[in-house]
Amino acid sequence: MSESDYSSDTLQDFTPEPAEARRVVVLISGNGSNLQALIDEQVHDRLGGEIVAVISNQADAYGLQRAREASIDAVALPHREYENREAYDGALIKVIERHEPDLVVLAGFMRILTPRFVQRFLGRLINIHPSLLPAYQGLHTHARALADGVAEHGCSVHYVTEELDGGPVLLQAAVEVADGETEESLKEKVHAREHLIYPIAVKWCLEGRLQFGDGGARFDGMPLPEQGLRMSHTDAAEELDEDIEDEE
């Protein structure tokens, strides 16, 4: 059939609707530096979707201001206004679902989530944790790593399951622990790596390259190992333009 067969006035006036962008809701509790890394990628059309809402359990979280400055719906939902964790998570589910997200991203959301919440968004709920999981689940990861004298630390993006910091790992970035490293200097290096890999993981989730299944996480259809995909210290340092000292 030739193009002339479609030349009616009605069809010439028709403008195809663009494919709807994949939708992201981000949950925060504080400063929102990882949120900013995601916003920056969205501004440059590299996120693979659109952040449609940022929700915080702290009304004064600076991350809400970051969202407003980016013209993203910013929602304060203070947890102290609810009688218990179950009531709060029930309200949070309603607010999130109002925005119909394809992916829910935890970016410094300092709340332990109820099983009901996790199950509602299982497979489309991710978090970033400041350690090379499964090492150092929980809090104070940098201090614990330094106390143990480890040679390598880092961060991990993982699917959220009912096991705290125990869901399938998607992507990691490593950092070598230098002689004389302090908790603050190590935290700064890990933060830089978080800002590097979290947008990548979000993009791959939105594109369907990273997927959740009964056997764990998969990348391009292939099962991932326990550590997920890992970016080495050298590769991360090069991406971040960090000085790499020659080692003996």
Where in the sequence numbering do the catalytic residues fall?
129
Residue 243: count of CB within 10 angstroms of its CB: 5
Q: Which residue has the tokens 């326990």?
A: 226
SS3 category, 58: coil
Contact between 96 and 116 under an 8 Å Cβ cutoff? The reply is no
Q: Which residues of 214-233 are buried (b: 16+ CB within 10 A; e: fewer)?
A: eebbbeeeeebeebbbbbeb
Contact between 215 and 158 under an 8 Å Cβ cutoff? The reply is no
Maximum pairwise Cα distance, the chain: 75
Question: What phi and psi, each to the nearest 5 degrees, are found at residue 159?
Answer: -70, 145
Contact between 54 and 73 under an 8 Å Cβ cutoff? The reply is yes
Q: Which residue has the tokens 């971040």?
A: 240
Q: Which residue has the tokens 């996120």?
A: 47
Contact between 157 and 198 under an 8 Å Cβ cutoff? The reply is yes
